[in-house]
Amino acid sequence: MSVVVGQGRRGRGQYRNEYVAALAATSSLVASVACAGWSSPALPVLRGPNSPIPVTPDEGSWIVSLLSIGSIFGPVICGLFVDRYGRRPVLLVSAIPLVAGWLFIAFAESVGMLYTARLLHGIGYGLAYSVTPIYLGEISSDAIRGSTGVLVTVMAKLAFLFEYSVGPYVGFRALAWISLALPVGFCVLFFWMPETPYFLLARGNKKAAADSLRWLRRSTAIDEELSRMEKLVQDSKQKGNPLRQLLLTSTNKKSLVIILLLSLGMQLTGINAILGYSQTIFSRLALPLTAAELSIVLALVQLGSVMLPTFLVDRAGRRPLLLASTAGSFLGLATCAVYFTLDETTTDVLSPEPGAPHGWIPFGGVLLFIISFAIGLATVPFAILGEVFPKHIKGGSKLRICGDYLFQVISDGAGTYVSFWIFTGCTAVTGVLIFLVIPETKGQSFERIQEMMMRRRRGKPDASVREGEESAKGRPLLSPTIAVLMLLLLIPTSSEVEIDCNSLRMGQYICPDPTLRQIDPKTQQLRGCTQENKARVWCVAVDGIVCSETKNTSFTREMPCKWTNGYHFDTALLLSVFLGMFGADRFYLGYPALGLLKFCTLGFMFLGQLVDVILIATQVVGPADGSAYIIPYYGPVITVVRSDNWTYRLPQDNW
């Protein structure tokens, strides 16, 4: 039997339904962000020798980029339909392009189908990220709105953990079918959730709005809150076009500055570039983990860290978490910056040997940065996003954070230590601006927050609004100052050289890349070895060289190999020693005529058996199809070198 309590004193489990609805809504982010995490385990397979759909590095870049291109259309669709048809239907519709995209990948036979899938994924990704914060902001009570807003980032990290954990251990198409379950599961969960009371009031359906609010609050005493909502909706309708209000209204421009500051701050700390350099940093440690296992560890740390603000954001407040997050991120980045500066500019301070005792320094710095970033900068902005815009503006003002690739370009075009110093500087600037600009919204109602934003314009704020407002008098100069600082920080001061890495000389690269498992355990040869005895493998250039084909230090090159077809050297030799008089070795290697002749003559009276033992042991006689023996990669392989035009050095006049 359910217990209904009054709004003035709500009992145990008072926010249960709100959390249930929030979890169901944010499951859309697990489904959509999984599309972004998919490329990490999928691209190595697509570029590998046994690729189901071979792609070039350029095509691989398009596969990644089309997600961002498609996501541009998500906020557009949100702005057009979210205020017309409602938050719930539009959020459910976001699953359609996700499902279609996974089906395209599952049945893909060409790169064009992968392009289409990624474009559809981008549309669903952008739509889910645009609608979900609106839904969360409109269903949550003032006391837990921060916690439900933080779920946006928690669910996103959960999606990355899912793809990182499953992707490396299942097939390419199997991963698509498994990932397809995510949007389907979201639809099943969210289908039973109510529409937001604000939208229902905006459509004039007060009875449905009351039913929705009653279910969310688990209380019948909702008249006062419903009246406040109705008044806010009526005020919103009188204010006209949302886009015009966003750009021309002073209060909304202040809110826009806050959101832009937080969005830029999130990206300019270099979180994506740090994750991109994680394997380089971890390779300095003697860790018994593969790249895939390190990715899982990193995702677990991120997930555990972003869960902390769920419990802290409504207790500690927004500003303290943001400031603590910025300070910790600054320390972690500065540690890495100092380390890489010493590592790349000196030769006698740090030992170049892998696994040196000081290798824990960048590892600790990266972990400190990831944890600090997660507890504030990665999560709190989504909570504030649902608070500072009025209801009539939210549908048209969701700004997708699109700086994911901006700093990755700088990271590819500048030295590692230069990138880390840029990230450190940006984080310091972000911390100062957060201290000066961001107000505290903990426990404030939507109406109170809007009143607070307006009072910053009209006059002196009261005591409950004064925190974080003292420095707002200098606001007119902040926007151009931010713009100038960001433009200066984005000037690429590169210390690396971008070239065609296939023209590198010996000593400028390592091939194959020793950090990758490029030896097939079945053939003991390079993966993808063809009958022409060639295989295309991944190589890595020395520090300071950026390959034009991949925009990083990795590139592909054809290397010699030995094509095998299932004939094992040890099997052939054992057959020759013990059963050679019956021709078993020749039958095994594909010489039935010689095998039958040896069988009829008892191995030419054992003389032919002795000759074959010598020929097979010295690998002069091999399989009849021209393939090589399967021998351990570092086993007793004999390579015959003959003098020809490539090995004979012609005498020169100056000798």
Q: What is the full DSSP assignment across 590-644?
A: T-HHHHHHHHHTHHHHTHHHHHHHHHHHTTSS--TTSPEEE--TTS--------S
Task: Give yes or no: residues 206 and 256 share one domain.
Answer: no
Q: Is residue 478 part of a domain?
A: no
Task: Give yes or no: residues 178 and 276 share one domain.
Answer: no
Task: Give yes or no: residues 206 and 322 share one domain.
Answer: no
Q: What is the pLDDT of residues 445-478, one digit of tens each?
A: 555 665 665 555 444 444 443 444 443 344 444 4
**Positive or negative CA dihedral for 562, 565, 568, 573?**
negative
Q: Which of 10-14, 255-259, 564-568 has the lowest mean pLDDT?
A: 10-14
Q: Is residue 490 part of a domain?
A: no
Stretch 391-405: mean pLDDT, rounded?
A: 38
Task: Give yes or no: residues 572 and 554 share one domain.
Answer: no
Last residue of a domain, one of 527, 543, 562: 562
Task: Give yes or no: residues 424 and 332 share one domain.
Answer: yes
Q: Is residue 188 part of a domain?
A: yes
Structure tokens at 290: 């593969």
Last residue of a domain, one of 562, 592, 617: 562
Stretch 535-542: mean pLDDT, rounded?
A: 88
pLDDT surpassing 80 at residue 371: yes
Alpha-carbon span 570 to 577, nearest angstrom? 11
The boundaries of the domain holding residue 323 are 251-346+358-443
% of the chain with per-residue pLDDT over 90: 11
**What local confidence, expressed as pLDDT, does residue 38 receive?**
85
Stretch 248-267: mean pLDDT, rounded?
A: 66
Q: What is the pLDDT of residues 17-43, one digit of tens each?
A: 888 888 999 899 899 988 888 887 887
pLDDT surpassing 70 at residue 180: yes
Q: Average model confidence (pLDDT) for the chain?
A: 75
pTM: 0.56
Structure tokens at 174: 């199997």
Task: Give yes or no: residues 190 and 122 share one domain.
Answer: yes
Q: Is residue 541 part of a domain?
A: yes
pLDDT surpassing 80 at residue 53: yes
CATH for 377: 1.20.1250.20
Q: Is residue 237 part of a domain?
A: no
Question: To 10 degrees, the CA torsion angle through 217, 218, 220, 226?
Answer: 10
Task: Give yes or no: residues 589 and 547 share one domain.
Answer: no
Q: Is residue 409 part of a domain?
A: yes
Q: Is residue 558 part of a domain?
A: yes
407 falls in which pLDDT band (50, 70, 90)? very low
**What local confidence, expressed as pLDDT, does residue 489 receive?**
45
**What local confidence, expressed as pLDDT, does residue 405 receive?**
35
Task: Give yes or no: residues 42 and 189 share one domain.
Answer: yes
Structure tokens at 537: 């493998």
Task: Give yes or no: residues 170 and 89 share one domain.
Answer: yes
Q: Is residue 654 part of a domain?
A: no
Three-class HEC string of 325-382: HHHHHHHHHHHHHHHHHHHHHCCCCCCCCCCCHHHHHHHHHHHHHHHHHHHCCCCHHH
Task: Give yes or no: residues 213 and 320 share one domain.
Answer: no
pLDDT surpassing 70 at residue 432: yes
Task: Give yes or no: residues 281 and 380 share one domain.
Answer: yes
Q: How many domains in the chain?
A: 4
Task: Give yes or no: residues 19 and 156 share one domain.
Answer: yes
3-state helix, strand, coil in the chain (%, to 5): 65, 5, 30
Helical H runs in 490-591?
Answer: 569-579, 584-589
Stretch 110-131: mean pLDDT, rounded?
A: 89
Last residue of a domain, one of 540, 562, 584: 562
Q: Which residues of 546-571 are buried (b: 16+ CB within 10 A; e: fewer)?
A: bbebbbbbbbbeebebbbbeebebee
Q: What is the pLDDT of residues 284-339, one digit of tens each?
A: 554 556 656 766 777 788 777 777 766 666 666 777 888 888 888 899 888 888 87
Token pair 């990290």 in the structure block, residue: 157
